[in-house]
């Protein structure tokens, strides 16, 4: 199992090459307040002075520290790169540069921190990756995080506490992370900020290990026995006490090895019963053991996660396409594919079917039979016509002579006015279909032909060509629909079979009504004179134009005023709008209304059938049939190839990143497969 940690280090190296943290690898995060001794604990584990020192926030970027155990003779066997020491370090950001001077490693950490975080004590979540090779370390992966602080100092941001807290939570929320909570022994364990923040993400304490530092700095007469025994704050993974070097020791260049020897002596003297379960060496072995077991538990889920991500990046890379080699063939292929997908979307056979809303041919069908059909059905055949309008049209059609029958001219005049109202919804139907044909372009670009996203100029050119084609067909289709209505207006076919049947029914009804009235007349009135007399009497008694003129003549003959003047005054009086119609006037209006309604329904049925056919023929089908040839004719030109097939600026970069990530995931999968083969898992 010891070999599991190098495997995780190898996986870490794999993902470091692509700068990705999409895989949460098992690691140990060191959490504590400022000056709690975090850095001293890490240096004790490494065995060398390598971390920046100072007051305030010193660790301002996460430091991912990989400790790799090597045999003592390995450094001598591999002297490439000028390596002449048994311990050395490597930073990820300096590539293959090897550091054998640990003071230089400290300076590089400080410089890299200031390069990203600035020199104003601000923090950054961009980690520094450092790998230490040494025969004196155990295999570990540690993350040194900024110390928890409460009050900003100097020119630190006012929300520095929140920033640090969020950064710590980001790392320790990883379920594959072991939390190393560092607390100073000379502080109250119950107020430990490190344990408090650890419990927020690990309430059961299954992955939290507590470290108590500065055992030698406790007040005289006190000790940490209860704390180390877990009587104050119990911690499942245990509590380990260590003794750090003091600042005076550091200033006097006291080595870590000497400090560890002094630590052992102190523990034997102060805590003899607990000495073998405390100290830096025991801490290193414990962390190594915990990390190995944790890695073993995490590997199955890690393998599944890597396989899922590999499949996703493979699909992503496929969507980006391969680099263009044959421009002519690529252009023709993309044009053909777009034209095919456009037509398939109309026909309903597209590969990508929209589920959120109607699209393509389905929406066009909905426009024809739901939107347009219901709009026509909602048009009232007699809308906008009042009884007075109909009566006025009848009278205007008779001229100066009173009519015995309803004039046909009045019917044609009124029915044409009503039929004309069908033109606006018909043209609106054309507009809606045109808009949907335009929307199909975007649908194909987004879902059907993702390759077009690689070539923005080609995409723009295709959109322009199709839009231009639709724009050219729109006035032609509008003209045809306008002509369909004009054709209906050009000839009112009163011999239409449906209209003739309606007229026959109305004539029978009118004749039946006349007979009923004749039966109701007094016996002294001759039946052959009754209709004329009755009609004349009704019209004279209801104040129609003839009665008004007659009354005007009587008035002018009996008075002293000018006859011309009196007649003009009578003619200037308008017909009352709300007056009661005579029986004949009412009957004539009813006849005209019925005829208009009957003929209007015939025309509406024709329009409802012919407009969708015209739109399909002149717009939809024409665009489908000519789209391929139009695109080829406009775009398939040798002088346009280089320009049209120029990739977007970030496409090549995204393809490279996806390819690198896929390669890293495949290498990671191979590493895990090797674990199974060697029975480490």
**Residue 327 confidence (pLDDT) above 60:** yes
**Residue 534 confidence (pLDDT) above 50:** no
* Per-residue confidence band for 19, with pLDDT thresholds at 50, 70 and 90: low
* Per-residue confidence band for 334, with pLDDT thresholds at 50, 70 and 90: confident
**Residue 181 confidence (pLDDT) above 90:** yes
Q: What is the pLDDT of residue 578?
A: 56
- Options 3.40.50.10490, 1.20.1250.20, 3.40.50.300, 3.30.1280.10; CATH for 26-74+85-308 is 3.40.50.300
> Any idea where the domains of the chain sit in the sequence?
26-74+85-308, 357-510+581-640
Q: What is the pLDDT of residue 505?
A: 57
Closest CA to 98 of 111, 88, 86: 88
* Per-residue confidence band for 21, with pLDDT thresholds at 50, 70 and 90: low
Over the Cα atoms of the chain, what is R_g? Answer: 48
**Residue 544 confidence (pLDDT) above 90:** no
Percentage with pLDDT > 90 across the chain: 20
Which helix (H) or strand (E) segment holds residue 64: the answer is strand 63-69
Measured CA to CA, the distance from residue 498 to residue 503 in angstroms comes to: 9
- Options 1.20.120.1240, 1.10.287.610, 1.20.1630.10, 3.90.79.10; CATH for 357-510+581-640 is 1.20.120.1240
CA 25 to chain centroid: 30
**Residue 535 confidence (pLDDT) above 70:** no
Closest CA to 45 of 244, 268, 264, 228: 244
**Residue 303 confidence (pLDDT) above 80:** yes
- Asked if 141 and 5 touch (Cβ cutoff 8 Å), the reply is yes
What mean pLDDT is reported for the chain? 79
pLDDT, tens digit, for every residue of 568-613?
Answer: 444 444 555 556 777 777 887 888 888 888 899 999 999 999 999 9
Long-range contacts, stretch 154-158, CB < 8 angstroms, 24+ apart: 154/56, 154/120, 154/121, 155/120, 155/121, 156/57, 156/120, 156/121, 156/122, 157/122
Q: What is the pLDDT of residue 603?
A: 92
The answer for residues whose C-beta is within 8 angstroms of residue 114's C-beta and 6 or more apart is: none
Closest CA to 505 of 595, 584, 407: 595
* SS3 state of residue 129: strand
H-assigned helices in 579-650: 583-615, 621-635, 641-644
Q: What is the pLDDT of residue 289?
A: 87
Q: What is the pLDDT of residue 677?
A: 60
- Asked if 346 and 444 touch (Cβ cutoff 8 Å), the reply is no
Span 640-658, mean pLDDT? 78
Measured CA to CA, the distance from residue 267 to residue 272 in angstroms comes to: 6
Q: What is the pLDDT of residue 514?
A: 60
pLDDT, tens digit, for every residue of 197-235?
Answer: 999 999 988 889 999 998 888 887 788 888 888 888 888
pLDDT, tens digit, for every residue of 450-503?
Answer: 677 778 888 889 899 999 999 999 999 999 999 999 999 999 888 888 776 666
**Residue 646 confidence (pLDDT) above 60:** yes
> How many residues are given for the chain?
681
What's the start-to-end Cα distance of the chain, in Å?
Answer: 8
Domain 26-74+85-308 and domain 357-510+581-640, same fold? Reply is no
Which residue is listed with tokens 């405390």? 278
Q: What is the pLDDT of residue 169?
A: 92
H-assigned helices in 399-455: 408-419, 423-443
pTM for this predicted structure: 0.56
- Asked if 630 and 471 touch (Cβ cutoff 8 Å), the reply is no
Question: Helices (H), strands (E): how many in the chain?
Answer: 25, 9
Span 328-340, mean pLDDT? 87
Closest CA to 361 of 470, 440, 474: 440
Span 519-538, mean pLDDT? 47
**Residue 31 φ/ψ, nearest 5 degrees:** -125, 140
Measured CA to CA, the distance from residue 306 to residue 665 in angstroms comes to: 6
Least confident of 35-44, 282-291, 321-330, 412-421: 321-330
Closest CA to 194 of 207, 183, 205: 183
298: number of Cβ within 10 Å? 19
Span 149-176, mean pLDDT? 84
Span 367-376, mean pLDDT? 92
């Amino acid at each position: 199992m010891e070999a599991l940690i190098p495997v995780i280090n190898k996986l870490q190296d794999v993902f470091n090459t692509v700068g990705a943290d999409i895989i949460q690898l098992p690691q140990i995060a060191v959490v504590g307040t400022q000056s709690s001794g975090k850095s001293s604990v890490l240096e004790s584990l490494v065995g060398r002075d390598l971390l920046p020192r100072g007051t305030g926030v010193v660790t301002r970027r996460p430091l991912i520290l990989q400790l790799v155990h090597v045999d003592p003779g390995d450094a001598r066997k591999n002297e490439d790169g000028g390596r002449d020491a048994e311990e050395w370090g490597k930073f990820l950001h300096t590539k293959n540069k090897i550091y054998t001077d640990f003071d230089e490693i400290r300076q590089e950490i400080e410089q890299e921190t200031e390069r990203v975080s600035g020199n104003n004590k601000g923090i950054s979540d961009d980690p520094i990756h450092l790998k230490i090779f040494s025969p004196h370390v155990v295999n570990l992966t540690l993350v040194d995080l900024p110390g928890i602080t409460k009050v900003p100092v100097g020119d630190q941001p006012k929300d520095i506490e929140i920033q640090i807290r969020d950064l710590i939570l980001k790392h320790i929320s990883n379920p594959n992370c072991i939390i190393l909570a560092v607390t100073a022994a000379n502080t109250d364990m119950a107020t430990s900020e490190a344990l408090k923040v650890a419990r927020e993400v690990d309430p059961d304490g299954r992955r939290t290990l507590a470290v108590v530092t500065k055992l030698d700095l406790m007040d005289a007469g006190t000790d940490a026995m209860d704390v180390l025994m877990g009587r104050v704050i119990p911690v499942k993974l245990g509590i380990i006490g260590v003794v750090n070097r003091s600042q005076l020791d550091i200033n006097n260049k006291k080595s870590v090895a000497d400090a560890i020897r002094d630590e052992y002596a102190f523990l034997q003297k102060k805590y003899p019963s607990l000495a073998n379960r405390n100290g830096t060496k025991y801490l290193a072995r414990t962390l190594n053991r915990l990390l190995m077991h944790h890695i073993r538990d995490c590997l199955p889920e890690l393998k599944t996660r890597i396989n899922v991500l590999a499949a996703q990046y493979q699909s992503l890379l496929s969507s980006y396409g391969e680099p263009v080699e044959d421009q002519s063939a690529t252009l023709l292929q993309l044009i053909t594919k777009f034209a095919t997908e456009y037509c398939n979307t109309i026909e309903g056979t597209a590969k990508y079917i929209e589920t959120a809303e109607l699209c393509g041919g389905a929406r066009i069908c909905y426009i024809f039979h739901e939107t347009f059909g219901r709009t026509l059905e909602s048009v009232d055949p007699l809308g906008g016509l009042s009884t007075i309008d109909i009566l006025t049209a009848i009278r205007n059609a008779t001229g100066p002579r009173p009519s015995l029958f309803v004039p046909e001219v009045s019917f044609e005049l009124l029915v044409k006015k009503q039929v004309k109202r069908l033109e606006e919804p018909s043209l609106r139907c054309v507009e809606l279909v045109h808009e949907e044909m335009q929307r199909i372009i975007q649908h194909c670009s987004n879902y059907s032909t993702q390759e077009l996203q690689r070539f923005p100029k080609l995409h723009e050119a295709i959109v322009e060509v199709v839009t231009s084609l639709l724009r050219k067909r729109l006035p032609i289709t509008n003209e045809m629909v306008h002509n369909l209505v004009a054709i209906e207006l050009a000839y009112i076919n009163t011999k239409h079979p449906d209209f003739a049947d309606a007229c026959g029914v109305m004539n029978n009804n009118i004749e039946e009504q006349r007979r009923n009235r004749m039966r109701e007349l007094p016996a002294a009135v001759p039946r052959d004179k009754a209709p004329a007399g009755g009609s004349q009497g009704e019209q004279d008694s209801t104040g129609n134009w003839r009665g008004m003129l007659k009354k005007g003549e009587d008035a002018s003959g009996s008075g002293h005023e000018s006859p011309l003047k009196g007649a003009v005054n009578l003619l200037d009086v308008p017909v009352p709008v709300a007056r009661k119609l005579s029986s004949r006037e009412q009957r004539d209006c009813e006849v005209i209304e019925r005829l208009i309604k009957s003929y209007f329904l015939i025309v509406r049925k024709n329009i409802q059938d012919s407009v969708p056919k015209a739109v399909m023929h002149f717009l939809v089908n024409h665009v489908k049939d000519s789209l391929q040839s139009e695109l080829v004719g406009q775009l398939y030109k040798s002088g346009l190839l280089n320009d049209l097939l120029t990739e977007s600026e970030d496409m090549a970069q995204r393809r490279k990143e996806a390819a690198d990530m896929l390669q890293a995931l495949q290498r990671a999968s191979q590493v895990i497969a090797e674990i199974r083969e060697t029975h480490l898992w």
